[in-house]
Structure 1
Amino acid sequence: MAELLVQQLVNWITLGCIYALLAIGFSLIFGVLNVIHFSHGDV
């Protein structure tokens, strides 16, 4: 049971880091272009 808890905790922390990276990317794009631009591949 403890192994499952640790594994789920690591999964949630990883997902939180991915969301944080997306938020940082969006804020950087908005800060530079002053436009909300959702296609990171084109920039």
Structure 2
Amino acid sequence: TKLIVRDINYADTGAYMCQATSIGGLTRDISSLIIQEQPTPSN
């Protein structure tokens, strides 16, 4: 499974939690997304 964020911007920065539940139990994971400026090419 994957998370796709389209038209990303600084407001999308933060913690994202993914949770899965089955008859085997429950698991979750939290990931941080940090938006940075695109580097400018050097000449």
TM-score range, shorter chain: under 0.3
More strand by percentage = 2
Task: Identify which of structures 1 and 2 has the higher relative contact order when contacts are C-alpha pairs closer than 8 Å and 6+ apart.
Answer: 2
**TM-score, normalization: structure 1?**
0.20
TM-score by length of 2: 0.20
